[in-house]
Chain A
């Protein structure tokens, strides 16, 4: 039997010797560590959120001899969600060239040389050693090494992975470090969900592998957190730009016209939940020059956080006339975004006959943050002019309502990363009252607020960038309510040999006197008595006509007759009632009275409760209030 106890000192000696050997050879061995990964806030609503860059820093090793080929490495990065960097092809079938880039040694603008080849399109860009491991890159020159490239385009090889094939890694030796930066990585933040409280962000992790490993021996944590997902937008509906209290949708009376001079019915408020959740498209984008664009190729700009745009690292100014396999163009070029952050309001169930207007522009933080209405959700920014005669003296624009739905999209043109933006957009609803033709129609309009454009494309695609999941929910924004006159007949009887004659006149026809708009509608007679409690309708009472009945006739089926009171709800204004109580044949006793008008607060709304006092004279747009 082996005496293991005696072996322990031997093993310890061997381990010591092995450790000493590693330490002794550190000067010649290439060593790479992951560090400096930037953990970037990512919007939980976003499908194409920029992650932080992933950095690998290598030191040591033996620099490749002058003129010798630099060994190449395949570098692959994985996210724990879908990679949604722009595919630089109209096809989404993988593998495809991506806008994701690998940069060597932090090249400054003017020193960025693109590798035009990739294994996807035929070959890689060979590199040659300079003997010192120094960061020498270029597009031409007598020295072989002066033609080495430092900007490589990635290939999306899986839904959550980008691969760079044949990247030459020259060990820096004693010259310093070799820095590998993976940039233009976008991920589907929405796919990771969000914590219920939104307090603790959900991390986006990137994991890097290298093949062959000995050419890029990454130690330390190959997985780094490159993003923190949290909700970016808070949408709400308020009664005014300054209000913070809960919103109660306004009840707009069908019979009362609303024009441009009437106030807004609601304010749509889009608030940043972190300071960089509203971003303009490009550093050149401003409200004055919404389509202006500039290169964002300074790493210092990223590191300093001065970009904070929807656009990433651009390659429109590669040095030496170099290119990449698929550069794209315009706003669809590598790194570019199609537009800035967009905010969308979708109105639904807009009653027929209602005209909707919204603010064209909203600003915050003294104008440092601004969003303007644009013509479409997914097209390039096109400013929308004010509609003639629109509310707020040209500040608003009418929306096109189709089948009860209308959409407004604003794009962030100015943004400031050092403050929280709160953008308020007013909403107006105007209409010409025509209750006789049921216009506007009765109903409750709703609004959904979200980022835009919304999309269900959750994996990499040619665009657009940015895009978002629709996380909105509907909020009531206003209600068209019927015009009602409520009449109280305090005593009605058809019992004990008595009967009550009831008359309701629709006095909305007064042409030549007040020229009130005629209205028509039926009345609902609500009976409350010991022998009967129920509802009977009347026929339509046209303007200028009178509905009459006897209690005994309407309630002919009530055994023993009816005694109680009745509340008539007429679907028109200016109803007036009269009752005449008498014994049958009016031989002995008879008396008449005018029905009382119960103040109209708008039926069916929270504010529609019957006022406790008839002296309360603040109904919502009611007609006359004569019942006091």
Chain B
């Protein structure tokens, strides 16, 4: 195969294709084609319209004109005006000796061109006004009425023959254009397509196309741009077939339930050609009955095809539609509106206030109740907003349920502190006051110890209690005490507080002796258990800064004795803290002696009651002159033998501490570590303190 021979053809095709793409512009003849002129006629205006590839008129384009045939053009080039049109003048040349002559004018611009056929009639040399070209209008006849629906094409043609009888005998004159010219603005009649041109035999069969407003009017048949004018003839344009409703106003409005939309619904009834159709019966109706009320509605289109209606919105909220249709419903269009919500009430139902640990979800969803004029309404969207870092489900949009409630799940962010979450709908808003805290201390049921003896448990009214757990004193080194040397204890020390919650709605903060961090696993807080704490179980809420931990079901016993001990002994062994009558403390170097009266410090003997019957409260010392004592009987054990204390008195200057005074038995064993214990007698059962010891000499 010889591909080389095919290459030029391919290139040609490519070139033509490219040329086609590049020449999407058009030159359209506005006036000049199909003209029939007499030799003596004054110049005739030729006009073309130049459009770009997008179909827009091109101003300032150079249009080149060329003439093939007889006659003359006024210029060879002109420029399009602001509307993209350019004109030239054609002057015919006197034609003797021929029936007629056809000239072709070519207008070129932007690489494309259009041709115009101009026919000049021959003339009698003896009388130049006697032109050879004649026109016979065959139809219509005078008085004929042509009618049709707007947009339709008549099957009854306007027929004419353009012919010449001259030196060359009878000849049909082709390419002459006839136009139908209406005398009524807005009611049109024209030749369909190219049916207005005469054929080779000079015959024209113009099929009228009706348009515009329905009306009776008149038209003239203009042949060859005015060579002959026939008529006028009557024509009537009737209402065409409705092709569409074109919405001209009032769509996409919004309003409150029951409101009259401010702008009327407006549409134009149009035929297939886009002409307005008058007197077309129309029907307006809401798509969903009851969602809107139609008033002042046009039952038929006006002279311009326009219809309108007013709409009163119903009570249904949201998008509603009104249908405009023909009586048969074959053509319709929809107007869409938004019925605004009328929120009459907006309240919080649940979730306010509450607290959550950082990066955790709040335990309760935020629940709001939307009350509308329409009653509980499902499907309304409530917008929740929260500060950055706080996460709202579903981008903060919650939808009401059938009860009109909307629920939103909130997740705390990294930053502790108060957070306001706002819910809004219909111009109303409510705020939820939430709190984000850090994680609380790590305490549990095993975290509670007697504050004196250190044995587990120790939760009894007025007792001194130690609560151990990581996170209680993070960052603290050593201890922070809670008192001011004198005076009551603080309930918040080093951002630590301990709340006891008991039966009967009891809540009481525990006075704090100290908050300590003595090393690993040595973070604790020493508190006085509230004296009023009911016996049974309690919930202990420990808050450290913004974090908190709640331990429920902590047993609360009537007593939980504990003997204070110290390691200040010279051998650094822990022994009971005992005070002699001379004010000196028992030590290895100053041991208690047999028969000597000493005082021990004990806690957990229950809530003290004074001799006069006053119950000592939380964070209180003993009553001066009205000694308070534990309510159960107290027994002291020395060297494994019972000793009845000479007195057990709630210390007047020490909170939660009893002073147990006893006499060292004369037969007590001696030595540095004589066993020592304190017990409370409850229902003939002894509740022992921590086992301790002290030196006896």
Contact = CB atoms under 8 A, between A and B. Distances in A.
A19 interface: no
A70 interface: no
A80 B143 contact: no
Contacts of B40: 200
A473 interface: yes
A505 B259 CA distance: 29
A557 B142 contact: no
B66 interface: no
B228 A202 contact: yes
Contacts of A203: 129-130
Nearest to B312: A557
Contacts of A321: none
Interface in A448-467: 455-456, 458
A195 B142 contact: no
A203 B515 CA distance: 130
A175 interface: no
A39 to B, nearest CB: 9
A191 interface: yes
A315 to B, nearest CB: 30
Nearest to A448: B218
B228 A194 contact: yes
A196 B227 contact: yes
A534 interface: yes
Nearest to A534: B262
Nearest to B258: A557
A132 B141 CA distance: 51
A193 B134 CA distance: 10
A473 B232 contact: yes
A532 interface: yes
Interface string B122-134: 0000010111001
Q: Is the interface of A mostly helix, strand, loop or mixed?
A: loop
Contacts of B231: 471
Contacts of A455: 142-143
A471 B232 contact: yes
Contacts of B127: 225
A197 B44 CA distance: 12
A558 interface: yes
A532 B260 CA distance: 13
B262 A456 contact: no
B255 interface: yes
A191 B233 CA distance: 12
A325 interface: no
A145 B263 CA distance: 97
A442 B645 CA distance: 125
Contacts of B261: 557
Given A193-B223, A196-B222, A557 B262 contact: yes
Given A195-B227, A532-B262, A190 B142 contact: yes
Contacts of A225: 127, 130
Interface residue tally on B, bucketed by range: 20 to 34
Interface string B250-282: 000001100111110000000000000000000
Contacts of B230: 191, 193
A194 B260 contact: no
Taking each of B229, B231, B259, which has the highest tally of chain A beta carbons within 10 Å of its own beta carbon? B229
B226 interface: yes
A167 to B, nearest CB: 27
Contacts of A30: none
Contact of A557 (B38, B135, B223, B255): B255
Given A190-B142, A456-B141, A456-B142, A196 B263 contact: no
B137 A193 contact: yes
A200 B142 contact: no
A196 B228 CA distance: 6
Interface string A39-57: 0000000010000000000
A473 B182 CA distance: 10
Interface string A66-89: 000000000000001000000000
Given A200-B38, A557-B255, A193 B142 contact: no
A235 to B, nearest CB: 13
A454 to B, nearest CB: 9
B225 interface: yes
Taking each of A47, A225, A532, A557, which has the highest tally of chain B beta carbons within 10 Å of its own beta carbon? A557
B129 A201 contact: yes
A577 to B, nearest CB: 23
Given A456-B141, A456-B143, A193 B135 contact: yes
A469 interface: yes
Contacts of B227: 195-196
Contacts of B228: 192-196, 202
A5 B27 CA distance: 58
B262 A193 contact: no
B653 interface: no
A510 B131 CA distance: 74
A526 B94 CA distance: 65
A238 B669 CA distance: 151
A203 B255 CA distance: 72
Interface string B200-224: 0000000000000000001001110
Contact of B134 (A47, A80, A194): A80
B626 interface: no
Interface in B13-67: 38, 40-41
Given A203-B130, A558-B262, A195 B229 contact: yes
A177 B262 CA distance: 93
B596 interface: no
A458 B144 CA distance: 11
A193 B229 contact: yes
B581 interface: no
B589 interface: no
B299 to A, nearest CB: 18
A205 to B, nearest CB: 9
Contacts of B131: 200
A194 B232 contact: no
Contacts of A473: 183, 218, 232
A356 B223 CA distance: 39
A458 B142 contact: yes
B173 to A, nearest CB: 15
Nearest to B126: A221
Nearest to A191: B137
B141 A195 contact: no
A196 B259 contact: no
A48 to B, nearest CB: 12
A193 B231 CA distance: 7
Nearest to B160: A193
B226 to A, nearest CB: 2
A461 B256 CA distance: 74
A458 B141 contact: yes
A225 B144 CA distance: 29
Contacts of B260: 557
A189 B303 CA distance: 37
Contacts of A558: 262
A558 B260 CA distance: 10
Interface in A345-389: none
Contact of A197 (B130, B137, B226): B226
A597 to B, nearest CB: 28
A558 B259 CA distance: 10
Interface in A412-446: none
Contacts of B226: 195-197
A471 B229 CA distance: 11
A348 to B, nearest CB: 11
A486 to B, nearest CB: 23
Contacts of A469: 142
Contacts of A190: 142
6 contacts: A193-B221, A196-B226, A197-B226, A202-B228, A557-B260, A557-B262
Which 10 residue pairs of A and B lie closest in terms of their CB atoms, listed nearest first?
A: A196-B226, A456-B143, A193-B228, A193-B230, A473-B183, A456-B142, A557-B259, A458-B142, A469-B142, A194-B229
Given A194-B228, A196-B225, A455-B143, 6 more contacts: A191-B142, A193-B228, A196-B228, A200-B131, A456-B141, A456-B144
